[in-house]
Amino acid sequence: MLSTGTLRRTDHAPFRGRSRTVGVDTTGRRLRVVFVFRWPGRNEQSIERLFTAVAARMPPWIEVVPYTLSAKWLDLRDVVRLRRLRADVYHVTGDCHQIAWFLPPDRTVVTVHDMIHVLHDLRGLRQLLFRWLWFDGPLARVAAITAISEATRRDLYEHCPTLRRRRIDVVPNCVPPLPEPIPKPFDPVQPVILQVGTAPHKNLHRVVQALNGIRCRLVVVGPLRNGQESLLAGADFEVDARGRVSDEGLGQAYREADIVVFASLREGFGLPILEAQAMGRPLVTSDRSPMREVAGGAAVLVDPEDVASIRGGIVRLIEEAELRAHVVARGFDNVRRYRPERIAARYAEVYARITNGAFAPGVSPLPCRPTLHPPGLEDNGR
């Protein structure tokens, strides 16, 4: 595998998927897929961690080449470098859709994680312009679109007119790389409650309100934002605000936790759900999509807009040992659905479809253009 952003000369044959149908590749080379990663300047690495895990589990007929963009919006040098890689498939892995405007449309896949920013943070002309530049425009021209949850796919169909007759495959996130789970005796006297995320939709203020009056220690992972320092200072329980943490620090926070609370208002997926389950920690999460589906019946579900509901879910886990054990056991079962090798196989199916099965063993040639599925009739991604 190449190091991120590294170029090398290649003498492999030209891309074979440009015609309507092609036969199976007979040169013996592997399908070259370039994973395009976003500019790293915001110190966010969750997408990159997930797709690195997926890349390591790809079938042997696929070669993954990672490439990290050098600018937040657009650097034309990235366009030149990416095209020089002569990929069979360019996979824009998320949060950098703008680069899809400049990649070969019949060889490009874009993964959409959510529409939270455009739908809830922007208004008026700014919203319309961003939606066109980030979603409607680039996604309408690419060969394949994937969404990480049914909720994200519904948002795309509802809010992006150019996509309403496009096929959008749901390929969920995988379980992220984490340390081995270590059983922890539950502390019923002063349990450690872990909250991962501090963005407004992560609902920290209601979690704090729900915990007032409960003897506990709240560990908060994520940079504190406007008003959150005073919110935590006014809590009547112990607070440990850790800010941004490394992967190792995140794993340690899960190991220390007795309960994980993820009562988010909206998500594209809800990765802390899988993290909590993989680490063997009982979980409280929101009874709304996509959190409900991702949890797979292995969580106490609450109304994220009702403080009493959040509090009730936490209290149940504190007081009911059998419930905790049930949630943890179901969680271990649930995360098996999201193993990296299963997610890699789903993406491999997408690559095989847009390259007409030219590289996948046992795949017959297929029409180059994907089948169109209007809302309500689309493939559900299972």
Are residues 145 and 221 part of one domain? no
Residue 366: per-residue pLDDT: 38
Are residues 202 and 160 part of one domain? no
Are residues 154 and 35 part of one domain? yes
33/51 Cα distance (integer angstroms):
12
Residues 6 or more apart whose CB falls under 8 angstroms from that of 151 comprise 267, 268, 289, 290, 293
Residue 297: per-residue pLDDT: 97
Instruction: Indicate if the pLDDT at residue 8 is higher than 70.
Output: no
Q: Tell me if 361 is assigned to some domain.
A: no
* 294-320 tens-digit pLDDT: 999 999 999 999 999 999 999 999 999
Q: Tell me if 115 is assigned to some domain.
A: yes
How far does CA 209 lie from the centroid of its chain?
28
Instruction: Indicate if the pLDDT at residue 52 is higher than 80.
Output: yes
Are residues 168 and 208 part of one domain? no
Are residues 249 and 211 part of one domain? yes
Residue 22: per-residue pLDDT: 32
Residue 201: per-residue pLDDT: 95
Instruction: Indicate if the pLDDT at residue 367 is higher than 50.
Output: no
Residue 29: per-residue pLDDT: 81
Question: Residue 313 belongs to what domain range?
Answer: 192-337
Gyration radius of the chain over CA positions: 22
At 99, the amino acid letter reads: I
| Total domains in the fold of the chain | 2
Q: Tell me if 58 is assigned to some domain.
A: yes
Residue 11: per-residue pLDDT: 31
Residue 356: per-residue pLDDT: 87
* 115-156 tens-digit pLDDT: 999 999 889 999 999 999 999 999 999 999 999 999 999 999
Q: What average pLDDT does range 60-71 have in this prediction?
A: 96
Q: Which of 22-26, 38-42, 215-219 has the lowest mean pLDDT?
A: 22-26
The structure tokens listed for 78 are 């990235």
Q: Tell me if 187 is assigned to some domain.
A: no
Q: What average pLDDT does range 101-121 have in this prediction?
A: 95
Are residues 243 and 164 part of one domain? no
Are residues 198 and 125 part of one domain? no
% pLDDT > 70, the chain: 86
Are residues 333 and 196 part of one domain? yes
Are residues 157 and 199 part of one domain? no
Are residues 47 and 130 part of one domain? yes
Residue 360: per-residue pLDDT: 61
* 207-256 tens-digit pLDDT: 999 999 999 999 999 999 889 999 999 999 999 999 999 999 999 999 99
Residue 28: per-residue pLDDT: 67
Q: What average pLDDT does range 259-286 have in this prediction?
A: 97
Q: Whole-angstrom distance between the N-terminal and C-terminal Cα of the chain?
A: 30
Residue 25: per-residue pLDDT: 55
Q: Which helix (H) or strand (E) holds 259?
A: strand 259-262
Mean pLDDT of the chain: 88
The structure tokens listed for 304 are 């994220």
49/35 Cα distance (integer angstroms):
12
Q: SS3 for 362-378, per residue?
A: CCCCCCCCCCCCCCCCC
Residue 107: per-residue pLDDT: 96
Instruction: Supply angle C-alpha 297, 295, 275, rounded to 5.
Output: 135
Q: Tell me if 1 is assigned to some domain.
A: no
Q: What is the CATH number of the domain that holds 218?
A: 3.40.50.2000
Instruction: Indicate if the pLDDT at residue 348 is higher than 70.
Output: yes
**Are 17 and 354 contacting, i.e. CB atoms less than 8 angstroms apart?**
yes
Q: Tell me if 266 is assigned to some domain.
A: yes
Specify the higher pLDDT residue, 62 or 367: 62
* 71-85 tens-digit pLDDT: 988 999 999 999 999
Determine the angle formed by the axes of helices 271-278 and 247-256, rounding to 10 degrees: 60
Q: Tell me if 381 is assigned to some domain.
A: no
Residue 45: per-residue pLDDT: 84
Residue 13: per-residue pLDDT: 30
Residue 358: per-residue pLDDT: 62
Are residues 207 and 320 part of one domain? yes
Are residues 97 and 43 part of one domain? yes
